[in-house]
């Protein structure tokens, strides 16, 4: 199930990799880096690319 997948996200500021559940990520979702605290909005191409990678069975 897609809801059970963890998606790897790279912080655009400190480049730390962290994971979030796919069910928590949607267009417009805000994620916070656990290392530096930077908040990033998942939107537009970023969200579309994540969905395409999930459909292919890969990581975001």
Count the domains in the chain: 1
Bridging pattern class, strands 17-21 and 6-10: antiparallel
User: CA angle 18-12-41, nearest 5°?
Assistant: 80
Within-domain flag for 60: no
Which residues form the domain of 30? Answer: 2-55
Identify whether 39 is part of a domain.
yes
pLDDT tens for each residue of 23-58: 888 888 899 999 999 998 888 776 667 667 666 665
End-to-end CA distance of the chain: 16
Predicted TM-score (pTM) of this structure: 0.64
């Amino acid at each position: 199930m897609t809801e059970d997948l963890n998606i790897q996200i790279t912080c655009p500021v400190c480049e730390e990799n962290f994971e979030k559940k796919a069910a928590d990520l949607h267009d417009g979702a805000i994620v916070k880096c656990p290392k530096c605290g930077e908040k990033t909005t998942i939107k537009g191409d970023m969200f579309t690319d994540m969905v395409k990678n999930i459909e292919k069975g890969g990581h975001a």
